[in-house]
A and B are shown apart, each in its own frame.
Chain A
Amino acid sequence: DVKVTQSSRYLVKRTGEKVFLECVQDMDHENMFWYRQDPGLGLRLIYFSYDVKMKEKGDIPEGYSVSREKKERFSLILESASTNQTSMYLCASSQTGVDKLFFGSGTQLSVL
């Protein structure tokens, strides 16, 4: 089974902190994605990557950056966390395009 592992299930941070969310997939997938999920707003794409060291902005990249130094690992960085970044963050991977995304279990981030 494909496994997408997110490093933390719950995270509490303070405003202004730099936050790293880590995601690792074990199926040698080319593509990796970061989404956030908020009640009433659904899933929104933050960034995605289709190759090592490559990244593309999604629909809401502001306030975020990403890093993909190795194929299996895709990190989401909040440079200076703000309260409006409190959300569920979901990482996903796929072999080709968006044909079938495999999601991690998510990280619930609270910024106080």
Chain B
Amino acid sequence: QKEVEQDPGPLSVPEGAIVSLNCTYSNSAFQYFMWYRQYSRKGPELLMYTYSSGNKEDGRFTAQVDKSSKYISLFIRDSQPSDSATYLCAIPGGSEKLVFGKGTKLTVNP
């Protein structure tokens, strides 16, 4: 089983929709969790990061972690065309390594 699994999509939604992006992970020792956003022809940029189980909000974005299920989610409320990007979950895997999911490509249609 891979350390981090992420549905690659693609996901296409209308403007204003609530988007749910998800990853599962296999190692219960993972302690904190990140979401990166990558626009086309750009490098990824850190969007959110959370240490604990539960929810963390930042504007229209909410990161959720369920350690008992080894499941992390990113919700986007009132999605905008400018949210169209690839979203990657990332988990520090020890020894200065960041384990990335493969990314979910999101398109928000006006």
Contacts and interface: CB of A to CB of B under 8 A. Distances in A.
Interface in A12-50: 31, 40-43, 45, 48, 50
Interface string A1-20: 00010000000000000000
Contacts of B43: 4, 90, 92, 103-106
Interface residues of B, number: 19
A40 B102 contact: yes
Chain A contact residues (Cβ within 8 angstroms of B): what range? 20 to 34
Contact of A48 (B8, B44, B96): B96
Nearest to A91: B43
B95 to A, nearest CB: 8
Q: Which 3 A-B pairs have the closest CB atoms?
A: A103-B43, A42-B102, A98-B98
21 contacts: A40-B8, A42-B100, A43-B44, A45-B97, A48-B96, A50-B96, A58-B97, A92-B43, A98-B96, A98-B97, A99-B92, A101-B44, A101-B98, A102-B45, A103-B43, A103-B44, A105-B41, A105-B43, A106-B41, A106-B42, A106-B43
